[in-house]
Chains A and B, each alone.
Chain A
Amino acid sequence: MKAFMTAFRISALLLVLCGILYPLATTGAAQLLFPKQAEGSLIHVGSVPAGSELLAQETASPGRFQPRASMAKYDPTASSGSNRAVGTKDYVEETLAKASDWRKQNPGLAEMPADLVTASGSGFDPDLSPEAAKAQIPRISKASGIPADELTKLVDRLTKGRQLGLFGEPRVNVNALNLELSKRTP
């Protein structure tokens, strides 16, 4: 019984320390130092929350950059990857069909960037590879009337390189691109 009480008391104490005090203390420090990130890197249009910099959103308009496919339908209350088996005939056929769809909507596309025809892991991949963004420029230019070379400049300006010049892959944030576009053509 004494052994039980010791084990029980240390369990309860560690629960308070690790499960309550630690997360709350971290929250306090985080809110003080990095309030924007701590709240989810929210984007506001006027005073209305318009999403998060870090989460891709459903984008249907041909005049906007489209993010990668999402099995979660861009709904953060149920994140999901596609969980497809890639080494199967079905998968290959579907992917080739997606590629020919992209080619139809985006004339003049030579190389097919892999991120355009695959679903992201999280369902909210906020980025495109610069190639995948540029592949969409002819379509966007036609639908929105913004000249193609301006769009190319925009993609180049917003493209982030590898972090510290080394880690990760070059990428461009889709929400950031579309925010710029909505300033030009609401």
Chain B
Amino acid sequence: MGMGLVQVAVTLAIIMLLVKPVGTYLVAVFDYGSGRTKLDRWFGWAEKPLYRLAGIKEEENMGWKGYLKAMLLTNFIMLVIMYAILRLQKYLPLNPDGIGNMPPAQAFNTAVSFMTNTNWQSYSGENALSYFSQMAAITFPMFTSAATGFAVAIAFIRGISGKSDALGNFYVDLVRAVTRVFLPLSFAAALFLVFQGVPQTIYGAITATTLEGGRQTITRGLVASLESIKHLGTNGGGWFGTNAAHPFENPTPLTNLVHIVSMMLLPTALVYAFGLMIRNKRQGWAVFGAMSFIFVAMLALVMASEYRGVPALDAAGIHGNMEGKEVRFGIAESSLFTAVTTAATTGSVNNMHESLTPLGGLVPLAEMMLNNVFGGKGVGLLNGLLYAILAVFICGLLVGRTPEFLGKKIEGKEIKLASIALLVHPFIILAPTALALLTPQAVASISNAGMHGLSEVLYAFTSGAANNGSAFGGLNANTDFYNVGIGLVMLVGRYVSIIAMLGIAGSLAVKKTVPQGMGTLRTDTGLFTGILIMIIIVIGALTFLPALALGPIAEHLAMP
């Protein structure tokens, strides 16, 4: 346990050291500025032809409605292309293992899953996708869905810190996120992964004669190029069914480190970038502090719980919970991965979450329910700011001050939009879970009986709503009910909050900035960080405690 704590501390220190430089770089990436910047010179040669061929007017600055329209249209077109590729993969090139077409409900689920940055998988890649599908219907949206989330978050910040309803140009933000952030980082990370043992080949599976004379079909593919963007873009969908627990996706503790740092790199830096863009670094750190506090508390819970293991087995001399974990990672690196992947809404796993101890399994569930502990590309920051706006409003009501955030008055319209975004999340988790438990066909998919079975279903819809993608893998989710149900939940979970937040940005953008006075509640102080944590916990607990009490908490109390 001692060495485990040291590893975790060193990993978190590496992440902290990268926050400032990467955050500063992000601000430069999305700075339209006047004249050519250094970055324009470095990346312009690749970007200019894209703008020209696509007919994008770089200088066009969009209002929130225009920005939203361009985003939705582009996402919809990509979704249709992905669906078509999955349905037709048998007839498309690069299919060395002879995989058939994907059925309609599953193809719908998969296309939605990857376009919404969820990466929920009701299939196993090694037997359901051709290499071409893995490239053009999986790796491709891993870039664009992450870039979409990024673009929206940047546009939101421009809105609340700006003076007019000009949120930027969606296409330019989309392209820049790809060319200046994701492509170069993914390429470099992929090569390191191959160096450590991740395959990267266009050749199909190879049949080996094992040391005992048996046969083993070794599936492989263009794995490394998918893995790197999977984590940098907080996507999470694996090439193989068992994701980053598979030795071909995550062969060594060092690849595990790269995966973890990649996941946290951009979501944490974005919070810092937010502080820079609104010219109030303290504000960035205030939000960062609240997110970090919840993250560390969650991490401590899952780690302690996994080291403790099952008491009845511990008494018999079997220490710690190694079910569903890999020896090279052990309990510390597995627990850290679990806390990170659900904080950053990645959803990849390096251990089987279904086999976590009850309280260990509560951690990923709770992080996805809160959905704002750093969070995936952009959207996590949006959710964090949503709670910040709410905190300002509630405090304003309590002490009779005018609610203001960043010098803008928070009024009825903003609170209505924020409430919609906030209430949709529990609704699309709890209502479908209840529906599933009333539907015999859906109940038949549950693999573990009793309280753990409830957690399986609850986890599935929470994962979809939070656009996370991790799973309690025992649930057979490849049925029409879950493919369509979770597909719809993912769509609502992604786009409703984005639409509401862009609406808030558009509304705040045109408001006059009011000077700070005696009546202003400062939002960049330690006090506000504390209030924010309280608000997040109170709202989260009020909403989800009953469901958690019936699932993991009851299971913990009944553990032998």
Could you tell me which A residues sit within 8 Å of B by CB distance? Answer: 2-15, 17-20, 22-27, 29-31, 33-34, 37-43, 45, 48-55, 57-61, 64, 68, 72, 74-89, 91-92, 95-96, 99, 111-112, 114-115, 117-129, 132, 162-164, 166-169, 171, 175, 178-179, 182
Contact = CB atoms under 8 A, between A and B. Distances in A.
A17 B50 CA distance: 10
B206 A13 contact: no
B203 interface: yes
A111 B242 contact: no
Contact of B318 (A8, A49, A114): A114
Given A76-B217, A99-B318, A124-B246, 9 more contacts: A9-B53, A27-B202, A30-B194, A38-B201, A49-B218, A76-B126, A78-B127, A85-B474, A162-B3
Given A40-B248, A50-B211, A76-B218, A87 B357 contact: yes
A86 B358 CA distance: 8
A121 B201 contact: no
B264 to A, nearest CB: 16
B252 interface: yes
Nearest to B171: A10
Contacts of A34: 191, 194-195
A3 B69 CA distance: 9
Contact of B254 (A15, A68, A167): A167
Interface string B34-74: 00000000000000001001111000000000000110011
B194 to A, nearest CB: 4
A62 B197 CA distance: 30
The 5 closest A-B pairs by CB, nearest first: A168-B253, A19-B140, A121-B245, A83-B474, A81-B352
A11 B310 contact: no
Contact of B448 (A26, A85, A92): A85
B256 A167 contact: yes
B397 interface: no
Interface residues of B, number: 120
A37 B253 contact: no
A4 to B, nearest CB: 7
B217 A77 contact: yes
Contacts of B77: 4, 7-8, 11
A26 B187 contact: yes
B78 interface: yes
29 contacts: A6-B54, A10-B50, A13-B50, A17-B50, A22-B187, A22-B225, A33-B195, A37-B196, A39-B199, A39-B203, A40-B206, A41-B197, A54-B197, A72-B242, A82-B352, A83-B355, A83-B447, A85-B354, A86-B321, A86-B355, A86-B356, A92-B312, A112-B317, A122-B247, A127-B328, A128-B327, A162-B3, A163-B253, A168-B7
Contact of B242 (A14, A29, A75, A79): A79
Interface of B: 3, 6-7, 10, 50, 53-56, 69-70, 73-74, 77-78, 81, 124, 126-127, 135-137, 139-140, 142-144, 171, 174-175, 178, 182-183, 186-187, 190-191, 194-203, 205-212, 214, 216-220, 222, 224-226, 229, 240-242, 245-248, 251-254, 256-257, 309-310, 312-313, 316-330, 333, 349-352, 354-358, 447-448, 450, 452, 472-474, 555-556, 558-560
Contact of B325 (A8, A83, A121): A121
Given A40-B206, A79-B246, A26 B211 contact: no
A99 B202 CA distance: 43
A54 B208 contact: no
B136 A64 contact: no
B74 A22 contact: no
Given A22-B139, A31-B201, A34-B195, A82 B216 contact: no
B257 A18 contact: no
Given A18-B139, A57-B210, A13 B54 contact: yes
Given A83-B324, A112-B317, A122 B222 contact: no
